Amino acid sequence: DSGVTQTPKHLITATGQRVTLRCSPRSGDLSVYWYQQSLDQGLQFLIHYYNGEERAKGNILERFSAQQFPDLHSELNLSSLELGDSALYFCASSVAGNHPERNEQFFGPGTRLTVL
Amino acid sequence: DAKTTQPPSMDCAEGRAANLPCNHSTISGNEYVYWYRQIHSQGPQYIIHGLKNNETNEMASLIITEDRKSSTLILPHATLRDTAVYYCIVRVGTSGSARQLTFGSGTQLTVLP
């Protein structure tokens, strides 16, 4: 158990719909990352938040957005869903401490999104 | 981040050492080598990292060549539960807020009974 929780575990929805994925980082971790893993694209970084502020964007579509709240949990919002958005979505957290090179990221169990 | 090359798949007999290679010939002096693994459809898990010295922890050992252009992750006594995709990632260590990870294709390690 990494200490990172994600809800829901599974989500089935239809094209055109909007969903929200939730992530709670490990206690004390200020950074939250979102990754998408599809069969043909592998693990791809989407977005990084640090203490409520967006720090980096990766291959995140304009239909997707995220935020990190004052209690440090994060939500990933996916809208106008398409069949190709079906994937595993992972959240990870990390803390920058006295050994920044460690940069160990702790991954949650993921949310499996199926768009029909 | 420097590019890495890993074999797509490897087999290992249970109880034997698994040696997973990674080439990173364009690595820079301030880049670290990180290893993560992903057991089927679970979230990736950090294993170990190093800069130039060999490293060992409770999970594995990391051997980095003197020129730092390649490294080997060693699982000393592989078990069936070590069957997973292993990712070698090369990137700079950072201060302040840590950076995202860039995953390649990794090596599918299958531990055989």
- Residue A59 is predicted with a pLDDT of 84
Question: Which pLDDT band holds residue A100 (cuts at 50, 70, 90)?
Answer: low
CB contact (8 A) between residue B98 and residue A110: no
pLDDT in tens, A56-87: 999 899 999 999 999 999 999 999 999 999 99
Q: Is the dihedral of CA B91, A24, A97, B61 positive or negative?
A: negative
| Higher local confidence (pLDDT), B91 or A46 | A46
Q: What is the mean pLDDT of chain A?
A: 92
Instruction: Examine residue A8 and say whether the peptide bond preceding it is cis (omega within 30 degrees of 0).
Output: yes
Residue B108: pLDDT above 60?
A: yes
- Residue B110 is predicted with a pLDDT of 98
- Consecutive H or E run containing B112: strand B107-112
Q: What are phi and psi of B80, to 5 degrees?
A: -60, -30
* Direct distance between the N- and C-terminal alpha carbons of chain B, in angstroms, rounded to an integer: 37
Closest CA to B89 of A42, A9, A61: A42
Mean pLDDT across A26-39: 92
Up-side HSE of residue B73: CA atoms within 13 Å toward CB?
31
- Consecutive H or E run containing A113: strand A111-115
- Residue A111 is predicted with a pLDDT of 97
- Residue A57 is predicted with a pLDDT of 92
- Residue A16 is predicted with a pLDDT of 97
Question: Which pLDDT band holds residue B2 (cuts at 50, 70, 90)?
Answer: confident
One-letter amino acid of A20? T
- B7 burial class (0-12, 13-18, 19+ CB within 10 angstroms)? middle
pLDDT in tens, B44-85: 999 999 999 899 999 999 999 999 999 999 999 999 999 999
Compare CB distances from A110 to B34, B43, B49 and report the shortest one's residue.
Answer: B43
Residue with tokens 């006295």: A98
- Residue B31 is predicted with a pLDDT of 87
Q: What is the mean pLDDT of chain B?
A: 92
Question: Which pLDDT band holds residue B1 (cuts at 50, 70, 90)?
Answer: confident
Mean pLDDT across A93-116: 82
Q: Where are the beta strands (DSSP E) in A1-116?
A: 5-7, 10-13, 19-24, 31-38, 42-50, 53-57, 64-68, 74-78, 87-94, 106-107, 111-115
Q: Give the whole-number percent of chain B exceeding pLDDT 70.
A: 95
3-class state of residue A70 by DSSP: coil
Instruction: Find, in chain A, the residue whose alpha carbon is nearest to that of B103.
Output: A43
CB contact (8 A) between residue A110 and residue B42: yes
CB contact (8 A) between residue B98 and residue A90: no
The Cα of A79 is separated from the nearest Cα of chain B by a number of Å equal to 24
- Residue B91 is predicted with a pLDDT of 83
